[in-house]
Amino acid sequence: MVFVATGLFSQTSVDVLDDARKLYDDGEFKEVIELLESEYDIENQGGYEMLLGDAEHKMEFFDMAIHHYIKAEKSGIKTVDLYFHRGAAYISIGEFKKAIKDLNKAIKVDPENADLFFYRGYAHTEMENNDKALADYSNAILLKPDYAEAYYNRGAVKIDLGLLDDGIKDLEESSEIGGEELNISFNLAIIAYEKGEYEKAINLFEELIETEDIAQKLDAYYYLAECNYQLKETESACRYFYKAMALGDLDSEEIYHNYCEKGQLRKLFKTRRKTEKVTF
């Protein structure tokens, strides 16, 4: 930062904001907050509050970020960025109605912004407003045809609604664009299991056990066991239940001890998790 050494001059509010923005661009968010709070200028309140909110947001202090965004709005800032950033912060703390209200304002000003529709779609998804979520994800895709995350979440919503074939198409499109490969593969494997395509599911889950993600590896072993169980490959099923148990899975431990070791009948199986979605 550049400070004038003499006592005759001091930094202007413009200088302070410029320095703060440079720090922000460099990822020095804590320093942004310290600078703006120490050099606060009431005449440029909106600029200070907006940048403070963005820095707090980046540090995941979402309540504080919202507090600053509200003060920025009261000072006269009513931009797309303010409503977008505050809406995203509301999503992060689970205030989805407030997020939608802000994103509605942002979309009214900038209806060509795909990200605004994607974020509003996510808020609708969390509120189980599935029709509105699908419409928002579709609008995001129309505005940005290579929006992998929008395809991914739209596919996940369709699958939750039982529209498996349409959902699979969206997940595959997301994968081709370059979306979240690991989650897409897992979701496709779950779908294959639920459709009774056990050999296909096994091929997908066998790829997933190579991950360094322990939770993902555990679930892959568990579902490999279930696929083999459905195919009446008892020895293979028990081998995978043992591997999942070794990683700490309590369901697999119960099944291994009661079914594999004692020969008791299995309890009815229920899918353990829904199709995952892109989150924030």
CB half-sphere exposure, 118, CA atoms < 13 A? 22
CA dihedral for 209, 213, 218, 220, sign (positive or negative): negative
Q: Each residue's pLDDT tens digit in the chain (280 positions)?
A: 333 333 333 455 668 888 888 988 889 889 878 888 887 777 678 888 888 899 999 999 999 999 999 999 999 999 999 999 999 999 999 999 999 999 999 999 999 999 999 999 999 999 999 999 999 999 999 999 999 999 999 998 998 888 988 998 998 899 888 865 657 888 888 888 888 999 999 999 999 898 888 988 999 999 999 999 999 999 999 999 999 999 999 989 999 999 999 988 776 555 555 556 665 5
pTM: 0.74
Q: What is the structure's pLDDT at 36?
A: 82
Radius of gyration of the chain (CA): 25
User: In the prediction, which pLDDT does 213 show?
Assistant: 85
Distance CA 105, CA 121 (A): 14
Kindly list the distances between the CA atom of residue 209 and the CA atoms of 26, 176, 199, 213, in Å, as whole numbers in the listed order. 37, 22, 16, 9
C-beta of residue 204 within 8 angstroms of C-beta of residue 185: yes
Helix runs in the chain, H state only: 13-25, 29-38, 45-58, 62-74, 80-92, 96-109, 114-126, 130-143, 148-160, 164-177, 181-194, 198-208, 214-230, 234-246, 250-255
| CA 127 – CA 94 distance, rounded (Å) | 10
Q: For residue 251, what are its two tokens?
A: 């369901």
pLDDT of residue 206: 94
